[in-house]
Amino acid sequence: MQIMRDSLKVRHYARSTVKTYLQWCSRYFAYCGQSDITANSDSAFKAFLSHLALKRRVSSSTQNQAFNAILYLFRNVWSREPDNIDAVRARKPLRLPVVLTKEEVRQVLMRTNGVAGIVIRLIYSSGLRLSEALRLRVQDINLENKSITVRSGKGNKDRITILSSSIISDLQKQIGKSRELFENSVIPVSLPTALERKYPNANLEWKWQYLFPAKNASVDTATGEIRRHHLHRTGIQENMRKAVKDSGITKHAGVHTLRHCFATHLLMSGVDLCEIQELLGHKNLETTRVYLHVMKGFRQTVLSPLDLL
């Protein structure tokens, strides 16, 4: 497990990915121990994936997550390629994301409030993931050019996305609150470990402060030092849940739904699919193309044969 952890960190995998992969490997070793089978054998790999699918009845995405973690263990810790493993890779079904209409989004946003409300509006404004919005630093916001620089997004990629004019006033107030907290505190902000080593005083500079800082400092799990972190996601998610419920919307909508709404509503406005791909930070265009199918539900250009009778 330690070799696995070190290998993932050397390859600069995200902290959440390291945690997930290690959890799956721990479950894999526990399964092999209970079944009295050799962990680094092909049969053990296949048996574990079959156990997840048939006994645990996990979803295809969960099964493939476990598949990727164990495959990494074989390749990078045991330096061997398991045979015929594609047979246990789950086929992921095409699921269309839930998307709200523009009026439904308006009703939800009207019922959000406070800093959580600003985060929620920002996500819809710019197509951000919740983690990307919370990790924004002051220097990432360009109010003059109405743009946001997303640092180390999914896949450890940077990108630039758009910013709505209507949210600029709220962001200016939020920057002011962050500045006030910064000036009245001597607690350094959390930074990636490598960056903190390269620029030892950067964590006390204004430009590196979080746009949405947590009120209280906490221990950085990577270094053990006291640092100021960004807001936790649970408060934002709870605010969104309440707003959806109060709006009377029956769709299963969460914070990430607003990212889907951002893409679909841009597509309906005539924005090019490739441009939306760049704004969302998708690696493959096929990932973005799903919104073409979603858009058909909003624009019924083909009449049902029943309507022609």
Taking the C-alpha atoms of 71, 76, 82 and 84 in order, what is their torsion angle to the nearest 10 degrees?
A: 50
Residue with tokens 């951002």: 262
CB contact at 8 A, 89 and 225: no
Q: Which residues contact 30 (CB under 8 A, 6 or more apart)?
A: none
Alpha-carbon distance of 188 to 209, in angstroms, equals 9
**Contact call for residues 134 and 118 (beta carbons, < 8 A):** no
| Residue among 291, 270, 294, 298 at smallest CA distance from 102 | 298
In angstroms, the CA 1 to CA 28 distance is 11
Neighbours of 296 (CB within 10 A): 12
Question: CA 229, CA 158: separation in Å to the nearest integer?
Answer: 20
Residue 5 CB coordination number (10 Å):
15
Which residues are catalytic, by number?
129, 154, 256, 259, 282, 291
How many whole angstroms separate alpha carbon 260 and alpha carbon 268? 12
CB 191 within 8 A of CB 225: no
